[in-house]
Amino acid sequence: MESVIEVRGLNKSYKLPSETIDVLKDVNLAVEKDRIYFIKGLSGSGKSTLLRILGAIDTDYSGEIFFDGKNIKKLNKREISLMRQKMIGFVFQDFHLLGKLSALENVVLPALFADRHYKSIRERAQWLLGRLGLEGVASHSVNKLSRGEKQRVAFARALINSPSVVLCDEPTASLDEKNTQILFDLVGELRAEKPFTLIVVVHAVKLKPDYIVRVQDKKVEVTCEV
Amino acid sequence: MKFRNFVRAFSFWNRGHWSSFFYSSIMLIISTSLVFLFLSLGFGIKSALAKIFSSSLTSGQILVSPAVNRVGFFTVEKKSSSLLDYDAALRILEIEGVVAIDSQLFCAVPASLSGHVPGIQGTYYTDVTIEGVDSSYIDDPVARLHFKRSFYDSTARILPVVISSSLLNLYNAGLAPANRLPGITPEAVIGFEANLEVGRSSITEESLPPRLFRVKLVGLSSNLSLLALGVPTEFVREANSYYHPDKPQQYSSVIVTVESPSAVSKVVEEIEKMGFEARTDSELVKRTSTFLRLVTFGITAFSLIIVISSLTSTVYTISRQISERSGQIGVLRALGASPSDLTKIFSFQVFSIAFADLLLGYTFGFVLSFALEYYIKLFLPSIYVLTGGVITFPIILLLIILLALSIIPSVTAYFIYVRTVGRNLPELLSE
Ligand SMILES: Nc1ncnc2c1ncn2[C@@H]1O[C@H](COP(=O)(O)OP(=O)(O)OP(=O)(O)O)[C@@H](O)[C@H]1O
Ligand SMILES: [Mg+2]
C-alpha cells in the first residue's frame, strides 16, 4: 500500500528554560493513502504534537518525515507553503480562526493564497458551510459564533482546497451527537467524490476508522481496525 | 497571486485594523507637517537674523573709532584717547598694508530733522547727529556722483543724505509695529525728503543762527552709527569751521581697507598702539555668528527631537502592530500563505501608506508654512519687510528629512515583519 506520510525515527521534545520535555521518542509510522486514522491517547500524551508534525506545522524535530515522498526538512519555506496549500487541511484544537472575518471569509482564505478563481472558491465555501448547517451564520463575524459553530467553520476551512490529507485535532470536541454525525457524513460524501487521507484526534466516536494510532509513553502503536 | 485575490487578501488582512493604521497615519502626517513647518520657519528665522546682523564690513576691513567706554547707550570718551583727526587718518593711511581709508567726519554742530511721513497725518521732529561721509557709502553709482553739497551754498539745492540701515531695521522691528505704522522697504525709503536744521536742536543752540536745508535720502549704509545722518564730508567740514572755527576737525570713525585679510591683525595692532579702537569684520562676524550658531543649534536640536521622536513613535507603533498580529501571521502561514505572499501584502500596505503620508504631510506642511507667512505679511508687515519673510523652504533638505521620516519606519517595519513572518510556525501560532 502506498503511504502518503512516512515517519522515521522521530524524536520530539519541548525545550523549556528549566527542563526539556520529551514527548515522542523514536516513533516510526507509515500513513497509508486515503485511509482514516484515529489518534488516541491520554491528555498530555502528545497527540496534538504528533498531528502538528504530521501536518508540517511543526518542523522542529529530529528524525525524518516524508510527505508525499518529500522530506519535509529539505523543503524551503515556499515549497512548504505550496504543500500546505495544495495537500494539507488542518483543523487546530483551538481553531485559529481570524475573529474579525466572517465565517465565509475564513473558509475562503486558504484558497486565496492558493490563488484559485474566487467565484468557484466562494461557491464551494458556501456549499461546505451549508452542509455543516452554517448557512445562517456564514456572514457573521467568527467572534460571535458559538464554539461548536467555530469548530465547524474550522473544519470547512480545512476542506476548502480539497487537500489530499486532512488532519483534525478533536474536531468534534464541542459538537453534539447529531452534528458529529453530520460532520462525518460530509467527510464520507467528500471522500466518495475525491478520496483523501483523514487523520483525526478523537476521544469517543461511534465511527470506525481504518487504523487507530495510540500515543502512549512517548511511543505510538498502530492497530488495524478492518 | 492574482490581483483580485491579492486585493481581497489585503482587505482581509487589515480587517479590524484600519483604525490603528488611520491613527498611525495621522501621527505620521502631523509629525511630517510639523517638521516641515518648523524647519521652514527655523531656517527662515536664521536667514532673517543673518540679514539683520550682517555687516557690510568685508573681510580685510577695519573699523577705527576713538577709544570709548560704552555704558549702555552712552559712550564716554576716554581721557587718554587720541584725537581721530585728519593727521591721525593720514598716519593710519601710512601703516604698511593699508590700501585706503573711508572716513566719517564728526560734526560738532547740533541739528534736527523735521517733515512729515508720507501717508500719515502730522509732522515729526527729531534731533540728529550729522556725520560727514564720502560717496563710497552709497551703492547707487549715479547717486554717488551727486553726493556733494556745500554748506555755504544758499540755493535751494537738495542736500543728499545717507542713513543707517540699522535705523530702518529698528523702525521696522519696533517702532512701526508698536505704532501700527506700515513697514518700509529700503527701496521705498530712497528718495524720502525732509528738512534739516543745522545749528540748533531741541537741547542746544549755536551762537550763530541756524541754517535750513532740504534733504533727500539717497542711500543706506550699515557702517553709519544708528542715529546719524550721513552727509557729504565737505558739508560737515564747512559747518564745523563755520560754527567752531577753532575746534579741530575730528572723525567719528574711519574704515580702513587692508591689502589682504592676513594683514588685518598687524594693522589692528598698529592702530591700537596709536590709541584707537579697532574693530574688524572677524570680530563682528564672530559676535553675530555666535548668536546665529546658537539659533542654528536650537533649530537643529529641536528639529532633531521632532524627527527622532516621531521616528521612534512610528517605528514603535508599527512594530507593536506587527507583533500584535503575529498570531494572525501564523494562521495565514499555516493555511498556506508563503512568507513572500505575506511580505508582498505588508510591503504594499506600509510603503503605500508611507508614501501617502509623506505626500499629505508635505502638502500640509507647505500649506501651514504659507499660512503663517501670509499671516505675518498681513498682520506684522514690518517684520516681514525687515526680514524679507521668515519662512524659507530648504526644499531638498526637507525632502531628505521627510523621506527619512517615512522611509526609515517603513524599512524598519519591513525588516521586523520579514523577521516575524520567518519565525517558526508553532511559535507564531502560540501567540
Ligand atoms: N509549546 C509547548 N511547549 C512546551 N511544552 C509543550 C508545548 N506543547 C505541548 N507541550 C507539552 O507536551 C506534552 C504533549 O502535549 P500535547 O498538546 O501534544 O498533548 P495532547 O495529547 O494533545 O493533550 P490533549 O488531549 O489534552 O490535547 C504535554 O505535556 C504538554 O504540556
Ligand atoms: Mg491536544
3-state class of B126 per DSSP?
strand
Q: Provide the domain count of chain A.
A: 1
Give contacts of A95 with chain B, Cβ < 8 Å.
Answer: none
The residue among A91, A109, A162 with the most chain B CBs within 10 A of its CB, best to mutate, is A109
Residue A156's pLDDT is what?
96
Please give the Cα distance from A180 to A174 (Å, whole number).
9
Give yes or no for a contact between B424 and B333, defined as CB atoms under 8 angstroms apart.
Answer: no
Which ligand 1 atom minimizes the distance to the CA of A47? Answer: 21
Residue B35's pLDDT is what?
81
Give contacts of A101 with chain B, Cβ < 8 Å.
Answer: 12, 15
Starting at the edge strand that comes first in sequence, how are the strands of the sheet with A20-32 ordered?
A: A20-32, A3-15, A62-67, A70-71
Cα Rg, chain B, nearest whole Å? 33
What does pLDDT average to over chain A? 93
> Could you give the residue ranges of the DSSP H alpha helices within B325-394?
326-334, 339-379, 381-387
| DSSP-assigned letter for residue B182 | P
Of A58, A81, A99, the CB nearest to B336: A81
Is B70 exposed, middle or buried (CB count within 10 Å of its CB: 0-12, 13-18, 19+)? exposed
Say yes or no for a CB contact (<8 Å) between A101 and B12.
Answer: yes
Nearest to B220 by CA among B185, B254, B253: B185
Please give the Cα distance from B379 to B371 (Å, whole number).
12
Alpha carbon A158 to chain centroid, angstroms: 7
Nearest to B160 by CA among B174, B173, B149, B175: B149
* Residues lying with their CB under 5 A of ligand 2, a single-atom ion: A 48, 93
User: Distance, CA A49 to ligand 2 centroid (Å)?
Assistant: 7
Shortest-distance Cα residue to atom 1 of ligand 1: A14
Residue A83's pLDDT is what?
95
Summarised one tens digit per residue, pLDDT across range A24-68 is: 999 999 999 999 999 999 999 999 999 999 999 999 999 999 999
Of B16, B336, B340, the CB nearest to A84: B336
Please give the Cα distance from B275 to A96 (Å, whole number).
92
User: Distance, CA A170 to ligand 2 centroid (Å)?
Assistant: 8
Starting at the edge strand that comes first in sequence, how are the strands of the sheet with A197-201 ordered?
A: A88-91, A165-169, A197-201, A36-41, A211-216, A219-224
Q: What is the residue type of B80?
A: S
Closest alpha carbon within chain B to A76: B338
Q: Could you list the pLDDT tens digit for every one of the 431 residues in chain B? A: 788 889 999 999 888 888 877 887 888 888 888 888 887 877 777 777 666 555 445 556 677 777 654 444 444 555 556 778 888 888 888 888 888 887 778 888 889 888 876 666 667 788 888 888 888 777 778 888 888 899 998 888 899 999 887 777 777 766 666 677 777 777 778 888 889 999 998 888 888 899 999 999 888 887 777 778 899 989 998 999 999 888 888 887 788 888 776 777 788 888 888 888 887 766 655 666 677 677 778 877 887 787 788 778 878 887 888 888 899 999 999 999 999 989 998 888 888 888 888 889 889 988 988 888 888 777 766 566 656 666 777 778 878 877 877 788 888 888 999 999 989 999 999 88
Say yes or no for a CB contact (<8 Å) between A100 and B16.
Answer: yes
Of B330, B336, B424, the CB nearest to A113: B336
DSSP E strands: which ranges in B154-236? 159-164, 193-198, 211-221, 228-232
Say yes or no for a CB contact (<8 Å) between A113 and B2.
Answer: no
- Model confidence at A18: pLDDT above 80: yes
Cα Rg, chain A, nearest whole Å? 17
Please give the Cα distance from B262 to B360 (Å, whole number).
52
- Please give the backbone phi and psi of residue A209, each rounded to the nearest 5 degrees, phi first: -85, 180
End-to-end CA distance of chain A: 15
Say yes or no for a CB contact (<8 Å) between A81 and B338.
Answer: yes
DSSP secondary structure letters along A198-211: EEEE-S--S---SE
Give yes or no for a contact between A27 and A15, defined as CB atoms under 8 angstroms apart.
Answer: no
Please give the Cα distance from A99 to A143 (Å, whole number).
5
Between A183 and B169, residue with greater pLDDT: A183
Of B16, B337, B426, the CB nearest to A113: B337
Residue B313's pLDDT is what?
81
> Could you give the residue ranges of the DSSP H alpha helices within B59-160?
86-94, 141-145
A80-97 mean pLDDT: 94
Closest alpha carbon within chain A to B338: A81
- Please give the backbone phi and psi of residue B65, each rounded to the nearest 5 degrees, phi first: -145, 165
Q: What is the residue type of B179?
A: N
Count CB neighbours of A23 within 10 A. 20
The residue among B326, B335, B418, B429 with the most chain A CBs within 10 A of its CB, best to mutate, is B335
Give yes or no for a contact between B415 and B315, defined as CB atoms under 8 angstroms apart.
Answer: no
Query: In Å, what is the CA distance from B416 to each residue of A194, B28, B324, B410, B412?
Result: 42, 19, 12, 10, 6
Count CB neighbours of B144 within 10 A. 17
Taking one residue from A and the other from B, the number of pairs with CB-CB distance under 8 angstroms is 85
- Please give the backbone phi and psi of residue A105, each rounded to the nearest 5 degrees, phi first: -65, -40
Q: What is the ipTM of this complex?
A: 0.94
Say yes or no for a CB contact (<8 Å) between A81 and B333.
Answer: yes
Any atom of ligand 1 within 6 Å of the Cβ of A23: yes
Please give the Cα distance from A195 to A189 (Å, whole number).
9
Is A214 exposed, middle or buried (CB count within 10 Å of its CB: 0-12, 13-18, 19+)? middle
Of B5, B340, B424, the CB nearest to A115: B5
Angle at B341 between CA B340 and CA B345, to 5 degrees: 110
Percent of chain A topping pLDDT 70: 100
Q: Which of A21, A61, A220 to mutate to test the pocket of ligand 1 (most atoms within 8 A of CB)?
A: A21
Closest alpha carbon within chain B to A87: B336
3-state class of A68 per DSSP?
coil
Q: Show which residues on chain A lie within 8 Å of chain B, measured between beta carbons.
A: 52, 57-60, 77-78, 81-82, 84-86, 88, 90, 92, 96-101, 105, 109-110, 112-116, 118, 157, 161
What CATH number has the domain bearing residue A139?
3.40.50.300
User: Distance, CA A23 to ligand 1 centroid (Å)?
Assistant: 8
Say yes or no for a CB contact (<8 Å) between B336 and A98.
Answer: no
pTM of this structure: 0.68
Give yes or no for a contact between B107 and B130, defined as CB atoms under 8 angstroms apart.
Answer: yes
3-state class of A20 per DSSP?
strand
**Which range marks the domain in which residue A55 is found?**
3-224
